[in-house]
Amino acid sequence: MWQAIWLLPLLGSATVLLPNELPGNYNLTEQGAQSFVNDYNTTSENVFYESVLASWEYNTNLTIANQEKQIAASLKEQAFNEAWGNKAKQLFDSILPSFKDKQLKKLISKIRILGVANLPVDERERYNTILSQMDNIYSTAKVCPPGVSDKCWSLDPDLTNLLATSRNYKKLLYAWEGWHNQSGVPLREKYPEFVKLSNKASTMDNYTDTGDYWRSWYESPTFEDDLEKIYKQLEPLYLNLHAFVRRKLYEHYGSKYINLKGPIPAHLLGNMWAQQWNNIYDMMIPFPNKPNMDVTQTMVDQKWNATHMFRVSEEFFTSLGLIGMPQEFWDKSMLEKPDDREVVCHASAWDFYNRKDFRIKQCTTVTMEQLFTVHHEMGHIEYYLQYKDQPVTFRGGANPGFHEALGDVLSLSVSTPKHLKEIGLLDMVTDDEESDLNYLLKMALEKIAFLPFGYLIDQWRWGVFSGRTPPERYNYEWWYLRTKYQGICPPVPRTEEHFDPGAKFHIPGNTPYIRYFVSFILQFQFHQKLCQLSNHTGSLHKCDIYRNKEAGAMLETVLSAGSSRPWQEILKNATGVDHMDASSLLEYFQPLTQWLEKQNQNETLGWPDFEWRPPVPEGYPEGIDKIADETAAKEFLSRFNDTAEKVWNVYSEASWAYNTNITEHNKQIMLQKNLDMSTHTLQYGLEARNFDYTDFQDESTKRILKKLSDIERAGLPENELKEYNNILSSMETKYSVAEVCRDNGKCHPLDPDLTEVLAKSRDYSDLLFAWKGWRDASGKQIRQEYKRYVELSNKAARLNGHSDNGAFWRSLYETPTFEQDLETLYTEMQPLYLNLHAYVRRALYKKYGAENINLKGPIPAHVLGNMWAQSWANIYDLVVPFPGATQVDATPAMVAKGWNAKKMFEQSDHFFTSLGLLPMPQEFWEKSMLEKPTDGRQVVCHASAWDFYNRRDFRIKQCTVVTMDDLITVHHEMGHVQYFLQYKDQPISFRDGANPGFHEAIGDVLALSVSTPKHLNKIGLLDKVETNHESDINYLMSIALDKIAFLPFGYLMDQWRWKVFDGRISEKEYNKEWWNLRLKYQGLCPPVPRSEEDFDPGAKFHVPANVPYVRYFVSFVIQFQFHEALCKAAKQTGALHECDIYQSKEAGTLLGDVMKLGFSKPWPEAMKMITGQPNMTAIPLLKYFEPLIKWLEEENKKNGDILGWPEYDWVPGTKKAEETGKVSFLGMDLSSGQAAAGQWILLVLGLGLVVATSYLAYKVLSSKRKRSVSELELQ
């Protein structure tokens, strides 16, 4: 830019006029004036041609050299105007009032206006330089995407298309802000100087300022008042359109970005300047099922190009009997954007003043909107052609608005469905009220939306030129007017450092703009008259004047006059009225006006919240390239849902086949289907990440995309994904086929053999054999694989934006305070657990003696009736509070009555249907595995419920045995299937529990009813129900041994894994920290020494199977919340532990409604639906066990039992020192003196060993014998 300024002195010679370009000598008479005008006309054609040509060459090839030529030509043109204008003043000012020829008088008056030529040459040069610089800044401005510098967006077509087609709030904002900053801000310092020079030139022509000069072209002393009156006529229609559009934008972008009583953010209206809103028509369509009048796609399909669009436009003009384009037009116009140079893309029509060369410069794209622009620009050319033989001074519109109106008035015909069908862009015309309203709204988004913008631009400039708006208030006043008239606001804060008016071409291009407002009024006046001449009847908006010669003749009369007569006279001759009037426009839009008024009955018209501004989006400008089209997102999710059902079903079938028949063949099929599922998850997960759903209105769409974007392990590279899947399969297989063998060769699987040993045996050694044997056979075998599993799990989690795999698991609860909430819950329940622990410990002490049970220490983990001491229900016989009172164990009755697995499941199904819930489908009974097969197959016995994702196939896999404990498990698993059934019609991503704990709780909450004596009596498994304190305590004890005993285990399982995942527990301390947690929370210890060669966590199914476990802790808390709520719904009174909701349809409805939600709502909403409040709380659980709590506290106090385990380092198999007088030393029971002597002996031996070792090391090193690599590896 500086080069142009530096070169200005070199341009002086180019501004010198040739002798034949200077005015001669003329008589001071009217005849002399006529000769003057004739010479001026001839000479000006040559000078103006040179000036226009230089400007054309610069605008179509933005180079420094062309800029220099343009400035030189402009200076020459101004010198020409100065010479001839001053001559006119000098010769004819004194006699001009006496001229009889009004046309001659008018010509002389116009020639004597010098404009910029009034300025001294240096100021004139500066003025032209500023204009050229501003033009260059605007035309070369680009917006670069974040982090990109080589592929930036120009205004046309990049930013224009982006504003038109994107619905991404952030991306629109980035484009809008970027353009306003890149184009407007650099102009800020130049514009005040331009205003000063422009005003100086205007005042020298006796105008008050440049705005006064511009308004003089309209030859009306009441011009400003007339405009205001017209705007007031139009304002009600605009306000209704604004309110309707605002509501539609609100529905799309929501209350965060749209205030229904405020202005609309300026970047959301489909156009960089919000001057026309037709590009957002797709969001506004009143009747979407009616034909869409946007023929853009048809144009593309029919392979229209720029030339064809202009040929179609030309044919419209010639069909009216008007002039076709000359050959020069087709040879020299720039109808498309060149690939090889920078150009000014703003569409414009050019008259080269030689009466044969007329061109258009337009970066045409094939769209319906551009087709209208083509007709607009061709209208200018037709005007040029019609008045080309007028004197140069009269080669212009009757007023500037006339010139703009002529192309647009044809577009009113071109855009009609009738005409679009005529030219092959519509197959048929639908003629009904709804289609009409669709069409009129589209036209209103172009025409009515424009009116306040067309009015305010020069309102702002007139204020600037007059001094009412000083430079320090440029931007403030700009946005004040835009909010006042348009009801729009900037989407980000704007200050006086910005210059947002400069982001509109006409400001740096110094093109007056009120002409467009005027043209939008005049075009409807002309249209109405042309339609009358065409004998059109019916609605004005349906009129098409195509091929009507009478209409063409009227247009020819208007066009050929140029500006030779007052525009009022030309208008009256054409239309019958001599003033601008909006009544024709209002008649055109009358049907739409009435419809909008009905739509807006409850809307606020206007924007009383005048100062409201939208917030800046979170994370802006990150994520601008993501898709923010909510409709596209819904289409994507529909596609995902359809394909996922198929892929997940195939995997589920393969996994079922493997789990019910463990073979290498089935394993390989399952692994391949797992990979297929991961590929699908990866494909759609990555696609989901392309959406920016932050501001979507549909919460379900946002929720699914968020969930789907977490692709979990599918994000791993393919080789690592295969490795991960193989590790999981291997670990689960080792667990499932593990057996413990006795010396006699008899081997025992976990289910049912070892489980039965732990449950029924009371032989300390036999229990120890089963306990230790299972851990040696299962957990120890997978330790090395688990380390790699942790690495890969963490990598997958980090690829999904989580800090580690534990963080991912916790994220499923959508609660930032989840860990703290769990700790609070555990703390609330800990006193109950400590009392139960102390009570059970004393009972075990009575059974196994002081050598095996320490009343102040932890309990050995193998004596609690369960392989993992997670439930103590199987030692109820050892701890029953009142042996003489009723004890609730339905197992004997079930066996006696011949119950089998199917009967147990049928009974559970009956419980659900008694609540009005869904029965199991036939596929369930035909395909489930309800008992352990006897055909030799190895199976995964761990009970589980299966959803096959086809909305009809649901199964359970369980090695059921006929016990009350398994009856409870049956209800638990059936609860899962009932959940599946209830949410089966949700999108596949929502077919899950509200949180993982919900899924576990549903079956368990029914088990709280099933296990009551009242219910067991109803179903024939208990002869009588005793209601007394002792029976209640017995019953509550049986429940507590299952529910309360479980709580610390349910809590610590994932405490351990979370710490493993985040590195707080290293691989070298897996087992040590496992037992530390079991000691801390459960008060348990291993019955035999454990080391880091062992891997006791792996002896629990959920660890090798990669199943998070804290869900069970959560479920054990919330099931009591559910139970209390369901009991209230069932109108049960009395103690909570006596409640049985069997056959309560009210309870079933409440439960079913929650299950139907699946994962579609955050779990606090589901919690509130069922309990009336959104939080997890232990209060209902404590209420349930309240009688037992009091009894345990009294019993422990009576026995003098210690709560907790202060002697935490006690080892089973040794009596307490104070009881025996002996201590354990090297596995031997010795007196204190013997142990002390032994310590001294060990010390002496140790010192001797150190000396001997040092000597041997010296001998080895001194031998200097080199060993082979193979020998080193062997050692």
Active-site residue set: 377, 506, 973, 1102
Are 132 and 70 in contact by the 8 Å Cβ rule? The answer is yes
396: helix, coil or strand?
Answer: coil
Give the C-alpha separation, 442 to 867, whole Å.
Answer: 73
List Cβ<8 Å contacts ≥24 apart for 496-500.
496/472, 497/185, 497/188, 498/180, 498/181, 498/184, 498/185, 498/188, 499/184, 499/185, 499/187, 499/188, 499/191, 499/474, 499/475, 500/180, 500/184, 500/475
947: helix, coil or strand?
Answer: strand
The DSSP code sequence of 459-482 is HHHHHHHHTSS-GGGHHHHHHHHI
Rg (CA), the chain: 45
Residue with tokens 């060669």: 1093
Are 709 and 640 in contact by the 8 Å Cβ rule? The answer is no
Residue with tokens 């932890």: 858
What stretches of 426-554 adopt beta strand conformation (E)?
A: 488-489
Burial class (CB in 10 A: 0-12, 13-18, 19+), 1254: exposed
Give the C-alpha separation, 554 to 574, whole Å.
Answer: 7
Cis ω for the linkage preceding 621 (within 30 of 0): yes
Burial class (CB in 10 A: 0-12, 13-18, 19+), 422: middle
Residue with tokens 């010679």: 13
Give the C-alpha separation, 1024 to 1017, whole Å.
Answer: 6
320: helix, coil or strand?
Answer: coil
Are 80 and 392 in contact by the 8 Å Cβ rule? The answer is no
Which ranges of 262-348 would DSSP assign to H, the alpha helix?
281-284, 296-301, 306-319, 327-332
Give the C-alpha separation, 479 to 488, whole Å.
Answer: 8
Give the C-alpha separation, 510 to 54, whole Å.
Answer: 18
Give the C-alpha separation, 256 to 533, whole Å.
Answer: 51
Residue with tokens 């989690």: 797
What residues contact residue 956 under an 8 Å CB cut-off, 6+ apart?
905, 924, 928, 929, 930, 943, 944, 945, 946, 973, 974, 976, 977
Give the C-alpha separation, 386 to 392, whole Å.
Answer: 13
Q: Which two tokens stand for residue 996?
A: 């993982």
Give the C-alpha separation, 333 to 1203, whole Å.
Answer: 96
* Residue among 897, 1137, 1181 at smallest CA distance from 1014: 1137
Q: State how far the alpha carbon of 1270 is from the alpha carbons of 1198, 1257, 1260, 1261, 1265, in Å.
A: 69, 22, 19, 19, 15
Give the C-alpha separation, 1013 to 1021, whole Å.
Answer: 9
Which ranges of 761-804 would DSSP assign to H, the alpha helix?
764-777, 783-799
The DSSP code sequence of 171-195 is HHHHHHHHHIIIIIGGGTTTHHHHH
Q: Which two tokens stand for residue 894?
A: 């079930």
Are 867 and 774 in contact by the 8 Å Cβ rule? The answer is yes
Q: Label each residue of 722-765 as H, E or C.
A: HHHHHHHHHHHHHHHHCEEECCCCCEEEHHHHHHHHHHHCCCHH
